Amino acid sequence: MSTEPDMDQIRIVLVRPSHPGNIGAAARAMKNMGLKQLVLVAPEAFPSDVATARASGAEDVLINAPICDRLEHAISDCHHVVTTTARNRSLQWDNVDARKAANQVIRQSRQGQVAVVFGPERTGLSNQEIELSHQLVHIPVNDDFSSMNLAAAVMLMCYELRMAFIDEPESYISESEIEKKATSGQVEGFIQHLHEIMAQIGFLTNKPSDRLMGRIRRLYNRSHMSEQDVNIMRGILAGIQSRIKR
Ligand code: SAH
């Protein structure tokens, strides 16, 4: 019987990777560290012989990787989403290093699907994409040269995940954590519902709503809503809507 850690609830998401070589190298790094679930969002060139060559032995990870056109779709069933970033965007974020993030990812993965998201080589992720996460992870490298190669960043995160798992194979989950966390898709459904009502009551007239909705999304993601929290909030929104109709 294999003694390999079971980290099947953890997916690695690469958003708009431009170099197929990085996709292959990321798959290889993942398999070395015992992770299998790779999801690609709008890769520039995939499938690709270059990716397959760089995977050298981890082709199964590539073959099984679903391809999505948007990050929202890649994480909609995840209740915990951490995003790696080359820049330290400290202000409104829960910002942690790779080791702390890995510990939490392992704990959260005992309750359902969890995603670790990586951005494109040239630009990193957009603010709208970053707003979908619960936590930002910055690998504290040389401040004067902080951008790592994408596949190297994947390797480092996967190594920390493996170490966190080995340190705490059966980590204890407290009572308060047992309440079922809402998935990214459920929270997004609530935010869309709220947006609809804001439009109905004229709150959004003449104002571009993207920044405001981004702020609201960050606010709710910070609070890590449970399924029940989402149901309560949506119940209130439905009540407001039926009052408006009357
Ligand atoms: N020029 C981009 C760099 C992107 S590097 C920028 O400034 O954002 C590609 C991806 O590798 C990043 O989006 C992130 O997912 C990961 N990465 C690179 N350096 C990192 C670091 N120091 N900490 C965490 N992730 C990093």
pLDDT for position 48: 96
Which domain covers residue 84, as residue numbers?
10-175
Both 116 and 45 in one domain: the answer is yes
- Whether 29 contacts 158, CB under 8 Å: yes
**Final residue of a structural domain among 124, 153, 175:** 175
CA distance 89 to 85: 8
pTM score of the predicted model: 0.88
Structure tokens at 62: 């590539």
Domain co-membership, 62 together with 146: yes
Residue 114 and residue 43 in one domain: yes
In a domain, 38, yes or no: yes
Among 175, 197, 219, which residue terminates a domain? 175
Is 3 contained in some domain?
no
Q: Answer whether residue 173 shows pLDDT above 70.
A: no
Q: Which of 13, 15, 39, 84 to mutate to test the pocket of ligand 1 (most atoms within 8 A of CB)?
A: 84
Do 162 and 200 sit in the same domain of this protein?
no
> Distance from the CA of 104 to the center of ligand 1, in angstroms?
20
Q: What is the pLDDT of residues 117-155, one digit of tens each?
A: 999 999 989 999 999 999 999 998 998 888 899 999 999
* Pair 101, 135: CB distance under 8 Å: yes
Ligand 1 center–CA 144 separation, angstroms: 14
Are 168 and 125 contained in the same domain?
yes
Lowest mean pLDDT among 2-6, 115-119, 134-138, 162-166: 2-6
Q: Domain count of the chain? A: 2
Do 47 and 107 fall into the same domain? yes
Q: Concatenate the DSSP letters of all residues of 76-87 into one string.
A: TT-SEEEEE-SS
Question: Is the pLDDT confidence value at 7 over 60?
Answer: yes
Give the pLDDT band of residue 91 (cuts 50, 70, 90): low
- Identify the pLDDT of residue 172: 55
User: Is residue 170 located within the same domain as residue 190?
Assistant: no
What sign for the dihedral angle of Cα 96, 117, 81, 60?
A: negative
* Tens-place pLDDT, residues 180-231: 889 999 999 999 999 999 988 888 876 678 888 888 998 898 888 999 999 9
pLDDT at 149: 96
CA atoms within 13 A on the CB side of 125: 28
210 and 162, same domain (yes or no): no
Out of 133, 154, 175, a domain closes at 175
pLDDT computed for residue 229 by the predictor: 93
Among 147, 155, 158, name the best residue to mutate to test ligand 1's pocket (greatest count of ligand atoms within 8 A of Cβ): 147
- Atom 13 of ligand 1, residue of closest alpha carbon: 119
The predicted pLDDT at position 1 comes to 53
Whether residues 211 and 164 share a domain: the answer is no
pLDDT in the model for residue 210: 84
The dihedral sign for the CA sequence 176, 178, 179, 184: positive
CA 80 – CA 76 distance, rounded (Å): 10
Closest residue CA from atom 15 of ligand 1? 118
Place of tokens 């709710």: 220
- Top pLDDT among 1 and 7 is at 7
Residues with Cβ within 6 A of ligand 1? 84-87, 118-119, 121-125, 137-139, 141, 146-148, 150, 153
Cα 80 to the chain's mean position, in Å?
Answer: 7
Mean pLDDT of the chain: 90
CA 115 to centroid of ligand 1, rounded, Å: 16
- 236 CA to centre of own chain: 28
Same structural domain, 44 and 122: yes
